[in-house]
Amino acid sequence: EAAVTQSPRNKVAVTGGKVTLSCNQTNNHNNMYWYRQDTGHGLRLIHYSYGAGSTEKGDIPDGYKASRPSQENFSLILELATPSQTSVYFCASGDPGQDSYEQYFGPGTRLTVL
Amino acid sequence: GDSVTQTEGLVTLTEGLPVMLNCTYQTIYSNPFLFWYVQHLNESPRLLLKSFTDNKRTEHQGFHATLHKSSSSFHLQKSSAQLSDSALYYCALSPGTQVVGQLTFGRGTRLQVYA
């Protein structure tokens, strides 16, 4: 079964530290996305990618970098983590040509920055 | 840019009563795709239903919605709420073919159904 997986599922980091969140998909989708979810804000797009080697800024990219080394993997990098980046992060994959723009979400990573 | 508005942050209902969650949108694109995603507690969002056809009702798992381009709306409805419907519901928009793949989500409406 096609799936999106994320690691780690929970992470506690210190202010100023580097955090890398990883995402893997077996859907063979071209597009991948990183969102953060906060109460009152819903799901907000941080970065996305159209394929290996490409990354694009979403609506709230400040403080985040992304890397897409392969079709299957998409990472979100916090070079200098801050408490305001405490949130739940979701990775998703999608392929407009296959599924009319539906996105499939991973299980989420709960990040706490102290 | 595009935007999606869900006016209710929390909707509370007694089991058996009808459900209506509001969604309106703004976009410059003429053929948007609209979606409802549902997220149960400690789970990830999953697609509930979607539409890109004006004035056509779409149904799934007892829920239905109709895209009305004239009023830029895509309200979610169900005739009779069940306890298991308690969840967070997101309305989302894709501009369609002009901007490939991106979704803009509303802030979400939490539906709480009581016995």
Residues 3-62, chain A, touching B (beta carbon < 8 A):
31, 33, 35, 40-45, 48, 50, 58-59
The domain that contains B7 carries what CATH number? 2.60.40.10
Structure tokens at B44: 């990830």
- CA nearest A111: which of A86, A78, A93? A86
Chain A contact for B96 (CB, 8 A cutoff): yes
Determine phi and psi for A44, rounding to 5 degrees: -120, 135
Q: Say if CB B21 and CB B111 are below 8 A apart.
A: yes
Mean pLDDT check: name the lowest of A82-91, A95-104, B49-58, B85-94: A95-104
Q: Which residues pair with B88 in a beta bridge?
A: B39, B110
Q: Which residues pair with B2 in a beta bridge?
A: none
| Fold entry, domain A4-113 | Immunoglobulin-like (2.60.40)
Q: Say if CB B64 and CB B78 are below 8 A apart.
A: yes
Q: In whole angstroms, what is the distance from residue A58 CA to residue B94 CA? A: 14
- CA nearest A57: which of A45, A41, A42? A45
Structure tokens at A103: 């996105």
Residues of chain A with pLDDT under 50: none
Question: What is the total count of domains within chain B?
Answer: 1
Structure tokens at A5: 């997986």
Chain B contact for A1 (CB, 8 A cutoff): no
Can you give the residue range of the structural domain that contains B77?
A: 3-114
Mutation site for A-interface testing, chosen from B35, B99, B102 by largest number of A Cβ within 10 Å: B102
All structural domains of chain A with their residue ranges: 4-113
- Structure confidence at residue B99 (pLDDT): 56
Read off the pLDDT of residues B22-35 as tens digits, 9 standing for 90 and up.
999 999 888 889 99
